[in-house]
Amino acid sequence: MKFEIKRLTAEDIPFIIVVEKKCFSSPWSERSFKASFNSPSSLWFGAFCDGNLIGFCGAQIVAPEGEIINIAVDPQFRRNGAGEILLREMLNSCHEVAQYWFLDVRESNIAAQALYKKLGFFAAGKRIDYYTKPREDAVVMKLDLSNRRPCDADSFI
């Protein structure tokens, strides 16, 4: 399956929300997305298939740190590499400003944890009862890219 990766803007929010609602029991509200797109420190990429948004990844960058604040792929398009391409794009494109990454993930979310581990994230802590619907602990995962050199033209990961 071929995906086109593009920077997202606030104009994409209605399409992001469609995917978000299919993916989370407590989806972000339109207001939360608008606030994030209004923030100069946030960055969003989308994966498109035949011109339709099928996944996205958002990050908050405060040099030298980056936080993955949201990532999701439409259930119909999963296990085709879109999540990995989105995350790689985010980490590579921000390497100049963010080398230390972290994120929170539900303890039961094995698929997402496997994706993060594949790209080098490791479990570094826990936030008790961090999530609701259902209530669950968060695993805090980290990634240190500070010693990485590009493995091809401009890819660090």
Ligand X SMILES: CC(C)(COP(=O)(O)OP(=O)(O)OC[C@H]1O[C@@H](n2cnc3c(N)ncnc32)[C@H](O)[C@@H]1OP(=O)(O)O)[C@@H](O)C(=O)NCCC(=O)NCCS
Per-residue binder mask for ligand X (CB under 6 A), 6-25, x = binder:
-----------------x--
Closest C-alpha among 59, 48, 61 to residue 15? 48
Cα diameter, the chain? 43
Per-residue binder mask for ligand X (CB under 6 A), 80-119, x = binder:
xxxxx--------------------x---xxxx-xx--x-
Q: Which is nearer to ligand X, 96 or 111 (CB)?
A: 111
Member of 15, 32, 42, 78 binding ligand X (CB under 6 A): 78
**Residue of closest CB approach to ligand X:** 83
Q: Which is nearer to ligand X, 10 or 111 (CB)?
A: 111
Candidates 3-11, 38-46, 75-83, 128-136: pick the segment binding ligand X (CB under 6 A): 75-83
Which residues are near ligand X by CB under 6 A? Answer: 23, 71-73, 78-84, 105, 109-112, 114-115, 118
